[in-house]
Amino acid sequence: MEVAQLKDLEENFGLAKRRYEELRRQKRIFNARNRIIGGDTEAWDVQVCDQKIKEATEKARQEAFAAEMRQNDKIACISEDRERRDRKNLCKAISDFQQSFQKPETRREFDLSDPLALKKDLPARQSDNDARNTVSGMQKFMGEDLNFYQRKKFQEEQNREWSLQQQREWKMARANQKCAEDLYLNTRLQFDETAKHLQNLESTTRRAVCTAVKEFNKNQALESAEKKIRQKKQDQEDNLAEISNLLRGDLLSENPQQAASSFGPHRVVPNRWKGMSREQLEHIRLVQKQQVQEKLRLQEEERQRDMDWDRQRVQRARTALLLERQQQCQRRGLRRALDCNNLSLAKEQLLQKKYMKEICTNHLTEAYFAQFNTRSR
């Protein structure tokens, strides 16, 4: 018993392959109806046309995706710039408010850690109505009133300065509020204009892509129609020539044995062959139907893929819009909180000023009554 070697198997495989290729070549060459000289140019043209259509469709889809990605990048950059600008303006407004209305000198406990406390300390006798000048201090005596007119004039000037300062602070606060509102309105208008421009750019890009695809499909349809007309005309001419040849030749004989070849039962004489049998034709039609169904299936899958891409694009656009609305709501909430905080601080400062004014008034009243009591005694 001999063992088959690898070399023998390779030689047998090569012989079988060459024998199969030879049989295919003979079947292709000796087929009188389908034999052509050279390659199948019609099939090649169809394949080239299908490839061009696929490449054009893929290129248009890629360009649409690229345009959408660029638009999403622009929207993201604009949102980041807007958020950074709002954060910067908010920090600046807080810093300005702290520098204007929350100075260290306005705190209640500032006098405990004031570095200039000794310089600001009052002398032993500041005026005639100083409440610290008691009888045991020996700083003020009966009949002395040295700074009556100056004190009265100073009080009037001080009241006038307080009133003017309140008016200036009120006007400044109103101006700052108006400036902030104008800045916010201008920013909102600029954002709206940018969003509108991006939306118009998206619509223009989509219309351009649709127009290009429509023109390409139209040209392809025209070329296909012209090609079908030429093919139909050529088929009619070929059919007329074939009918004329059959009428003048011996192929109308009803004897099927005249096409038998002497080289074997699987071969035929090309110039006497009557054509393929009904089973062979049915097999060819079945293969053609299967090819048509496969092409329809591929087209349906392509349509479903396009619908999925469109659905994903709409979902991303809706997500971006919701995110922008959420950011706007957050900014409005921060603005309201800041306004409430500023209003509460302004009220506290106003109450503090009223309290200090009442304390000064009470001190002046007590000093006046003390002086009156002293004179009465």
Report, in this order, helix, strand and coil percent for the chain, each rounded to 5.
Answer: 80, 0, 20
pLDDT of residue 287: 92
Evaluate whether residue 216 is within a structural domain: no
pLDDT of residue 335: 87
Cβ proximity of 96 and 180 under 8 Å:
no
Cβ proximity of 99 and 342 under 8 Å:
no
Whether residue 19 is found in the same domain as residue 53: no
Evaluate whether residue 240 is within a structural domain: no
Domain range for 19 is 9-36
Evaluate whether residue 17 is within a structural domain: yes
Q: How many CB atoms lie within 10 A of CB 361?
A: 10
Which residues, given as ranges, of the chain have pLDDT below 70? 1-4, 31-41, 124, 127-129, 135, 137, 140-147, 247-261, 264-266, 272-276, 367-369, 371-377
Evaluate whether residue 359 is within a structural domain: no
Alpha-carbon separation of residue 315 from 318, 321, 329 (angstroms):
5, 10, 21
d(CA 211, CA 214): 5
Whether residue 27 is found in the same domain as residue 51: no
Whether residue 13 is found in the same domain as residue 32: yes
Evaluate whether residue 66 is within a structural domain: yes
In the block, tokens 């019609």 appear at 42
pLDDT of residue 88: 92
d(CA 175, CA 170): 9
d(CA 226, CA 20): 40
Cβ proximity of 310 and 206 under 8 Å:
no
| Burial classification of residue 22, based on how many CB atoms lie within 10 Å of its CB (0-12 exposed, 13-18 middle, 19 or more buried) | exposed
Q: How many residues are present in the chain?
A: 377
Q: Are strands 260-261 and 264-268 parallel, antiparallel or unpaired?
A: antiparallel
pLDDT of residue 34: 59
In the block, tokens 């660029």 appear at 70
* Total number of domains in the chain: 2
In this structure, what is the dihedral angle of CA atoms 230, 232, 237, 243, given to the nearest 10 degrees? 170
Alpha-carbon Rg for the chain, nearest whole angstrom, is 51
Evaluate whether residue 18 is within a structural domain: yes
pLDDT of residue 256: 60
Last residue of a domain, one of 27, 56, 89: 89
Evaluate whether residue 99 is within a structural domain: no
Evaluate whether residue 186 is within a structural domain: no
pLDDT of residue 1: 44
Of the candidates 175, 158, 164, the one whose C-alpha atom is nearest the C-alpha of residue 100 is 175
Residue type, 135: V
Cβ proximity of 294 and 56 under 8 Å:
no
